[in-house]
Structure 1
């Protein structure tokens, strides 16, 4: 993690750390890094979006880079537009699921994948140096506005087809998904009921789609007798799903179901996920010809693995899904279309969810100052490897140790001053015993660090 870029681009409180000056300089740094070309810029619905976007665009233009401004646009639309307009990069002005006082800057490559930490480090170095390219008056970049929504829907309809029509409730959380997700579902032939779809920048629910934040969606699905409820975070790169019975479908279950459906749709192959994903995914996709590969947490790590080594599907147990046949940008809107196609082919979601094995997952957060994280992590690794009788170790992102029917992941948060513990076991009793031991190890390590 650099000075500006965290695990998902720059994300800060507006007019405190994220100022117009910073946005201007990020634009100048990106333009200097690219040495010309075209950049697509979109933004989510936050009240600060226009301010940050205009400053960033000014910076880009000053370096001689052309800009395609797609205005209010979910992250997946930015990713799509990069390819559509043959651009060299894309930027979304978004703070994803953070509260409304935050905003952020996330940069995308020409192939639709987020900038890797290495690329962000190079941008940081240019930012810090202040050594920006300055285009002469007659070579300043040209701005233009464009709206790729129609093309997005048309292209999606070439890949997703429904035999029947369904009633879908969509909760966009007053975010950027409002301008695209309900329209795609309608074009698929569905009856659409929209919740929180006025893109105001004043969010009426917590933006992260989870069982708590989607209680109104769940009630609406039940009351309207709908077939499914689909929800998004602020920039709609994620999806949360409520089944036909009005129950939130846990992320792990949904991840398994959609990975299985991708294997049915596109053929056998690799399913890429992150180190915090449970065994249910492996157990569900193995009979369908899927091989699970785990990588670091974050959509860029999943996309990177897919880009390098191929795969049928990539996803995190946070509702972030990447469909490589479609794009390397996480896309909660296209994901929603796929969920409908899966229901159309395989049956009601409430029935499908029963097929996914259920294990006990526990999570804990333990306070740990950022400056102590590296030392604490070294101590945790040392003691965990000594204290548990494990069969397998994965240390690409934190430390994950696995037994035959359990696993524990110790990992420093990339966004908060905490250590995270995630674990899974077949019984509640076993899970609680493992967590007690794991928490004790982490607390001791943080004290000693």
Structure 2
């Protein structure tokens, strides 16, 4: 992580660290990095979006790069527009699931995948040194406006089709998904009941779609006797799902179900997930001809894994899914259409969810100063290797040790001064016993670091 770019682009409080001046410089840096070509720019619903987007576009134009402004746009639509307009990059002004006072800048490659750490480091270098390209007065970039929503819907309807019609409650969280997700569902032939669909930038629920933030959605599904509830975060790159009985479907269960459905739809192959995903996924997809490959946490790592392994599907246990047959941008809106197709072909979600094995997952956060993280992780790795009898070790992102009945992941947070422990076991007793021991290992390592 650099000075500006974190685990998911730049994300800061508006007019504190993230100012129009910084957005202008990022625009100049990206234009300089590209040298020439065309960039698609979209934004989510936050009140600061227009201000930051205008500054970023000014920076891009000053380097001679052409800009297509698609205005209010969920992240998946930006990813789609990059390919549609054959652009060389894309930018979304978004802070995804962060609170409304935040905003961010996330850059996308021409194939729809987010910029890698290496690419972001190059942007940082240009930004820091202010070695910006300056176009002559007659070579300043052209600005045009476009609306790719209709093209997106048409293309999605070529990939997904339903034999029947369903009642869908859709909670867009006052985010950018409001302008696209309900419309795609309606065009699939469904009856849509929209919640929090005013793209105002004032969020009436916590943006991360989880059991607590989606209580209103769950209640509406029950009252309206709907077939499913679908929810998004601020830029709709994520999906949260409520089943036909009005229960939030845990992320791990949903990830397993959709992975299984992708194997049924597109044939046997590899499924990419992150090191913090549980065993339920492996156990559920194996009989369907799926093989799970784990990568670092983050959508870039998942997208890279998909390309490297030529995988059928990639997803994180946070509701971030990437469907390579569609795009390499995480897409909660297209994911919503796929969930409906799965229900249409396989039956009600409440029934499907019963097929996914349930294990006990525990999580803990332990305060750890950022300066101690590196040393603490070295000590944890040494100590964990001695304290636990395990069969396999994965050290691509933190340290994950596993055997056939359990796994433990020790990982420093990329965004906060904490060390995370995630573990899973077949029984509650075993999980608690492992957590007690894991906490002791981490606390000792932090003390000694």
TM-score relative to the length of structure 2: 1.00
2:442 aligned partner: 442
Cα distance in 2 for residues equivalent to 1:206 and 1:380:
34
Q: Please give the residue correspondences for 1:279-318 in structure 2 after superposition, counting only pairs within 5 Å.
A: 279-318=279-318
1:271 aligned partner: 271
Q: List per-residue Cα deviations over 1:409-437 (Å, max 9, x = no partner).
A: 00011111111110000000000010011
Q: List per-residue Cα deviations over 1:146-201 (Å, max 9, x = no partner).
A: 00000000000000000000000000000000000000000000000000000010
Give the ranges of 4+ consecutive aligned residues of structure 1 lying more than 2 Å apart after TM superposition.
none
Does residue 90 (structure 1) correspond to residue 90 (structure 2)? The answer is yes
Give 1:444 deviation, angstroms. Answer: 1.2
Does residue 377 (structure 1) correspond to residue 377 (structure 2)? The answer is yes
2:426 aligned partner: 426
Cα distance in 2 for residues equivalent to 1:408 and 1:438:
8
Cα distance in 2 for residues equivalent to 1:254 and 1:385:
32
Q: Classify the secondary structure of the residue corresponding to 1:270.
A: strand
Give 1:28 deviation, angstroms. Answer: 0.3
2:4 aligned partner: 4
Q: Classify the secondary structure of the residue corresponding to 1:137.
A: coil
Cα distance in 2 for residues equivalent to 1:308 and 1:290:
16
Q: Classify the secondary structure of the residue corresponding to 1:139.
A: coil
Q: List per-residue Cα deviations over 1:247-276 (Å, max 9, x = no partner).
A: 000000000000000000000000000000
Q: Classify the secondary structure of the residue corresponding to 2:114.
A: coil
2:131 aligned partner: 131
1:409 aligned partner: 409
Give 1:306 deviation, angstroms. Answer: 1.0
Cα distance in 2 for residues equivalent to 1:92 and 1:31:
15
Give 1:216 deviation, angstroms. Answer: 0.2
1:333 aligned partner: 333
Unaligned residue ranges in structure 1 (runs of 5+) = none
1:42 aligned partner: 42
Q: Classify the secondary structure of the residue corresponding to 1:364.
A: strand
1:203 aligned partner: 203
Q: Classify the secondary structure of the residue corresponding to 1:362.
A: strand
Cα distance in 2 for residues equivalent to 1:144 and 1:157:
27
Q: List per-residue Cα deviations over 1:108-167 (Å, max 9, x = no partner).
A: 000000000111111111111100000000100001110000000000000000000000
Give 1:32 deviation, angstroms. Answer: 0.3
Give 1:309 deviation, angstroms. Answer: 2.4
Q: Please give the residue correspondences for 1:38-437 in structure 2 after superposition, counting only pairs within 5 Å.
A: 38-437=38-437
Q: List per-residue Cα deviations over 1:380-399 (Å, max 9, x = no partner).
A: 11111111000000000000
Cα distance in 1 for residues equivalent to 2:335 and 2:119:
27
Give 1:312 deviation, angstroms. Answer: 0.3
Q: Classify the secondary structure of the residue corresponding to 1:271.
A: strand
Q: Classify the secondary structure of the residue corresponding to 2:106.
A: strand
Q: Classify the secondary structure of the residue corresponding to 1:241.
A: strand
Give 1:307 deviation, angstroms. Answer: 1.7
What's the Cα RMSD here? 0.5
Give 1:281 deviation, angstroms. Answer: 0.2
Give 1:308 deviation, angstroms. Answer: 2.3
Cα distance in 1 for residues equivalent to 2:253 and 2:231:
16
Unaligned residue ranges in structure 2 (runs of 5+) = none
Q: Classify the secondary structure of the residue corresponding to 1:138.
A: coil
